[in-house]
Chains A and B, each alone.
Chain A
Amino acid sequence: MDSTDAKQSSWSSRIERTLNSYSESLLQTVSDTLVKPRTKLPIPAVIEKCLATLGNPPVIDRRIKDLPEAARMVLAAVSRSGQPQWGVGHLVSLSATLGHPDGVEPVRALFLAGMAFPITKEDPREIWDFDLWLASAGGVRAQVFVPPVVAERARVVPLEVLAVESESLPGNGRETDGLDWPLRLATAWQAVSAEPVRKTLAGLLFKKDRGRFDPVGLFAPPDSTHSPAESGLLSLVWAEAAGLLKQEGETLTAPPFPPIWDGPLFPLIADLTAALFQLQTWDPLVGVTEAENPVPAFPTAMLLTLLLVASAPPDRWVSPAHVAMWLWEHHPGWQGGLTKEAARRHGRPWVDTVLFGLAHPLGLVDVYPRPDDPPVRLSPLGQSLFANGPEPAAAPVLPQTLLVQPNAEVLAYRQGLTPSLISLLSRIAAWKGIGPACTLELTQEQAYRGLESGLTVAEVLQTLARHSTRPVPPAVDDLLRRWATKRERVTVFSSATLVEFGTTADLDAAISRGVVSIKLTDRIGLTADGKEPDFRHLRLTGNRDYESRPFPCMTVESDGVTLVPDPATADLLLEPEVLRIAEPIPGDPPGVRRYRMIPDKVRASATNGTGLDNLDEWFQIRSGSPLPAAARLFAAGPNARPARVEKLVVLRFPTPEVTDGVCQWPITADRLADRLGPTTVAVDPEDLAPLVEALNRIGVQVEQFHGAVE
């Protein structure tokens, strides 16, 4: 299955999942418009028919033709954007701009015709009615998608309402290579890869991270005279929308470059342009906004700006002033979002920034070099994206475009830069300057990140050699190899599976069979990547998961000081933990390993290390019973109150009941020093006589042991 088939299959599954979430009656309604079945079909067959219809271009053409005017216009406009996903609010805004202020009616018509679908959660509740779904999915914030197969057919529907004055001028305009923004987005990727960006709970950037993307240096705008506001932050939010960056929890991280960066420039520019229409928190004149407006004008006004330029014949030029005036008169939400200065000039600065600061550096429009009011027209690439023009032929690429200097600086001439080379360079070298010739520096940190991303030092050197105009200097070759060697000195296995064998011979046998490849100790090995070994060669005698809570795997013998780990359940952390308080008992037979607690070690552990409570908790976890009394004795050590030598008389009663009574009756209890056992008490010699007398008074006889009292 090639990538086009895979994409088609992915969209079919997405549509099928959405149709499955429709109620039966809603599905029948959509099917009546989309499929027009002659007989009533069961649900699975209806869904199958809908999918088949969406794979039939002539039928799609007829269904588009049958749409109400407003819905057809909206569909035609968004289909030219290349962006399949749009907010309902934006579609409503587009419809109104195109002369149909009918609220959500066009969106509903697209749903009912099966030309657009609601974007639901992974586990959607059944959709009974599109109005109810809209209300529950956030109203104007709700998102819809137009299947690419529909967009492909709808993009040729004419949009006559979009028309502005154009002029014919002699000569050619200024073109660009389209690399300015891809380079800045790659730089944003590199910055996030070096240090992830954290966001607040509200999704905003912290001040420290905002500062990293100030519009200077690498993040300076391509055209300083028409600079988009906060161009560094634009690179960041744009890179996120284009899938270069990914939000994980509250952190923005840099995953590997998306596959589109492996191909030619044209599809990448198309992809980045489509991603621009997803920006909800950035405006060309204001910069990053706090997403207070649920339907910001930027995505639709940007699309309409390009479509207005596209409305002119390919060889004619359009003044941005005409575009601004058209938007000023037609777009319902655009004026309100303009700055005072821009509003005073009817939005002209906004249009200039979009055309000269975004579209021109992207290579979508050419600019006619007229000092006063320079007009624009779509470039061949822009024609292909927004005016159904043919795909432009790829420019010849110069493979040798790098110059690696002995000081580890790399000069990259833009004529030979391709998306794949940009992504590769971003992984191995730090961008230092973006201009007609870009500069990079091979640094240890960046080379390390490149190697960590899966590249080998040989691949890095091959890449540099393949694209260099001169051989890679030996000093640079040596430097890269040294950095790679240094990296190999310390390896962190963050979540490996270790295999512990009974004997060294077994481990050697496992290595010879390829079950494990690294020998950690005389009995423990692991695979090269730290993953699970081939179980066909193993008979498992135990299995421990170190991220689960440890469970009892040790017993304490009755002497209270001998610790015996259970070889079947003990983990590797047990021995180091035990050795903090005990030492191995010498002379045990092979396979038996016992430890004896050492008073000094227990005391040190209790006082300097973990503390008595933690030691007690450790015994509970590891042995299932509390800290043994002997260990408490060791821990108390010199801190315990001193013992005292005393002379006491022991009195033994015939039964425990009598002893209980003696201990309870205050007359006798006051004369007792301590109870020693069920039938014995200790008495101070001076208290013996009064005690015996009290007992005699109640008839309890005491046989005086001769010599008990001196």
Chain B
Amino acid sequence: MTPTTRLAAKLHRRVCFVLVDDAVLAEELLARKKLAAEVAGRLSDRVLLIRPGRSAAVIDELKKMGHTPQVVGK
């Protein structure tokens, strides 16, 4: 592969997800019923996909749980 080769890629735009430090923390978040309802799926053990348009609700719920989430792309 030469450096100029373009890499085939598919874009997923305007995706909302939560990236956590470790898998245990992801489990902890999923155990929260209100938060789990907003999770559309798990992309990996540390990445939770959020239903479109529900980021504000997720941030609120995380704060209620005592977390101070870093929000990217406000």
Q: Which residues of A are interface residues toward B (Cβ below 8 A)?
A: 444-445, 448, 451-452, 483, 486-502, 506, 509-510, 513, 515, 518, 520-521, 524, 529-532, 536-547, 568, 571-573, 575-577, 579
The 7 closest A-B CB pairs, nearest first, are: A576-B41, A542-B10, A494-B55, A539-B6, A498-B12, A448-B68, A489-B21
Q: Are A495 and B25 in contact (CB under 8 A)?
A: no
A571 to B11, CA, bound (A): 9
Q: Chain A: which residue is nearest B17 at the CB level?
A: A493
| A502–chain B nearest beta-carbon distance, Å | 5
Q: Are A506 and B12 in contact (CB under 8 A)?
A: no
| B6–chain A nearest beta-carbon distance, Å | 4
Q: Chain B: which residue is nearest A447 at the CB level?
A: B68
Contacts of A509 in B (CB 8 A): 1, 7
Q: Are B69 and A506 in contact (CB under 8 A)?
A: no
A378 to B8, CA, bound (A): 71
Q: Are B41 and A499 in contact (CB under 8 A)?
A: no
Cβ-based interface call for B42 (8 A) = yes
Chain B, 42-74, contact with A by CB distance < 8 Å: what is the 0/1 string? 111001011011011011001000011111111
| Choice from A487, A497, A573 contacting B13 with Cβ under 8 Å | A497
| B24–chain A nearest beta-carbon distance, Å | 11
Q: Are B41 and A452 in contact (CB under 8 A)?
A: no
Evaluate whether A494 and B9 lie within 8 angstroms (CB atoms) in the complex, with A521-B44, A545-B14 already known: no
A539 to B10, CA, bound (A): 8
Evaluate whether A541 and B72 lie within 8 angstroms (CB atoms) in the complex, with A488-B21, A490-B67, A492-B18 already known: no
| B20–chain A nearest beta-carbon distance, Å | 5
Cβ-based interface call for B36 (8 A) = no
A93 to B70, CA, bound (A): 52
Q: Chain B: which residue is nearest A580 at the CB level?
A: B41
Count CB-based A-B contacts (< 8 Å): 176
Q: Are A495 and B11 in contact (CB under 8 A)?
A: no
Besides A502-B9, A576-B40, A577-B40, 17 other A-B contacts (C-beta < 8 A):
A448-B68, A487-B69, A488-B21, A491-B69, A491-B71, A492-B18, A492-B58, A518-B19, A520-B19, A520-B47, A539-B7, A541-B10, A542-B11, A543-B10, A546-B12, A547-B14, A572-B43
Q: Chain B: which residue is nearest A522 at the CB level?
A: B44
Q: Can you list 5 residue pairs at the A/B interface with Cβ under 8 Å?
A: A488-B21, A492-B55, A500-B11, A545-B14, A547-B53
Contacts of A452 in B (CB 8 A): 70-71
Q: Chain A: which residue is nearest B41 at the CB level?
A: A576
Q: Are B73 and A573 in contact (CB under 8 A)?
A: no
Q: Chain A: which residue is nearest B47 at the CB level?
A: A520
Contacts of A543 in B (CB 8 A): 10-11, 13
Q: Are A494 and B16 in contact (CB under 8 A)?
A: yes
Evaluate whether A573 and B11 lie within 8 angstroms (CB atoms) in the complex, with A490-B69, A495-B55 already known: no
Contacts of B10 in A (CB 8 A): 499-500, 540-544, 568
Cβ-based interface call for B31 (8 A) = no
Q: Are B73 and A530 in contact (CB under 8 A)?
A: yes
